[in-house]
């Protein structure tokens, strides 16, 4: 494992189109998030007008002046070549899964596999969004899927509303404690 000093201070947000990456980053960021939205020329444009097809980022300003970048990955598969480059040196992954998608458990599996190397050298925390409108699958179904995939340690997985800063911050806190349960917080 690389030393923390050598890492860029950045946290990666990934997940399918419409899962809430841009919203989550906006909720947490201390600056208005910058979005480099490309014009969505394909089906996603119809799916959701403001969806992230390029990448967006926000910033957490730490009291000592240091900055932590919050990067959203492009949601579309055809941009997945950027994921490795983006996540290079990152602190960890916040993965958002849209429960309203047709097969969110398959989305989960796909993203965990795409970020396999990154996760194994860092950590992941998973937020299931849109559970207010789509109740199934439930957390227990997700946990069963994670168990089937044999992830160790068992990742944090919460019901999340990407519009809630508390929810998004909870994901990041879980990510940090997964990296180091002994973290000093006071």
Partner 1 sequence: MSRHSILPGQPVTALFLLHVGSMDARLIGLSVERHWKHSVRLASELESARVVLVDCDRPGVEAAFERLSPHPRIGVVCYAFHPKDHSQRFPNRVILGKPLNLEALPSILAKAAHDSARTIAAPSLRRAAPLTQPAPPTIQPGSEEPPRVPIVTPASPVPAVVVAAAPIVQAELQPQSGTTAAPPVSAPQADPPGSLGHGVQTDDERDLCGALEDLPAHPVHPLPDKIFFNPDNYLIGHLQRAFDQASSTGRPHLIAGLPRLIGVRLQPASICVTDFRDNQLRPLSMAQLPQTTARIVSASTLSHISNHGTTWTTEDFFWNVAAWAARGRLPEGTDPYQPVRLRAWPNFTKVFMSPHALRIVALWVRTWASPIDVAARLGIPQRYVFSVYASARFAGLIDARKPRAATVEARTATPTQPTTNAAPPAQQQQQQRPSILSRILRKLLNAV
Ligand X SMILES: Nc1nc2c(ncn2[C@@H]2O[C@H](COP(=O)(O)OP(=O)(O)O)[C@@H](O)[C@H]2O)c(=O)[nH]1
Count, residues near partner 1 per rule CB under 8 A: 49
Q: What are phi and psi of 83, to 5 degrees?
A: -60, -45
Burial environment of residue 178 by CB neighbours within 10 A (0 to 12, 13 to 18, 19 or more): middle
What is the nearest approach in angstroms of partner 1 to the Cβ of residue 60? 6
Residues 123-162 that bind partner 1 (CB under 8 A): 135-136, 138-140, 143, 152-160
> Residue 12, SS3?
strand
Assess 104 for contact with ligand X (CB under 6 A): no
Peptide bond into 135 cis (omega under 30): no
> Contact, 97 vs 16, CB < 8 A?
yes
Assess 32 for contact with partner 1 (CB under 8 A): no
What is the nearest approach in angstroms of ligand X to the Cβ of residue 26? 7
Peptide bond into 137 cis (omega under 30): yes
| DSSP bridge partners of 126 | 95, 157
Given Mg ion, ligand X, partner 1, none, residue 145, with its beta carbon under 5 to 8 Å by kind, binds: none
Count, residues near ligand X per rule CB under 6 A: 20
Residue ranges in contact with Mg ion by CB under 5 A: 21-22, 52
In the complex, which residues of this chain contact partner 1 (CB under 8 A)?
3-5, 7, 9, 60-64, 66, 68, 91, 135-136, 138-140, 143, 152-160, 164-167, 169-174, 176-186
């Amino acid at each position: 494992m690389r030393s923390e000093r050598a890492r860029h201070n950045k946290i990666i947000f990934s997940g399918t189109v419409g899962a809430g990456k841009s919203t989550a980053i906006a909720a947490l960021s201390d600056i208005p998030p910058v979005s480099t939205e490309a014009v969505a020329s394909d089906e996603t444009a119809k799916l959701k007008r403001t969806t992230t097809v390029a990448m967006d980022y926000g910033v957490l300003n730490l009291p000592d002046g240091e900055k932590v970048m919050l990067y959203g990955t492009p949601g579309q598969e055809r941009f997945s070549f950027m994921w490795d480059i983006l996540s290079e040196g990152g602190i960890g992954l916040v993965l958002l899964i849209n429960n309203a998608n047709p097969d969110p458990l398959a989305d989960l599996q796909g993203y965990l596999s795409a970020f396999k190397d990154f996760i194994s050298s860092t950590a992941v925390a998973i937020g299931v969004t849109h559970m207010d409108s789509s109740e199934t699958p439930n957390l227990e179904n997700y946990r069963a899927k994670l168990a089937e995939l044999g992830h160790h340690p068992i990742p944090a997985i919460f019901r999340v509303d990407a519009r809630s800063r508390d929810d998004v911050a909870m994901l990041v806190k879980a990510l940090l404690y997964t990296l180091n349960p002994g973290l000093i917080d006071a």
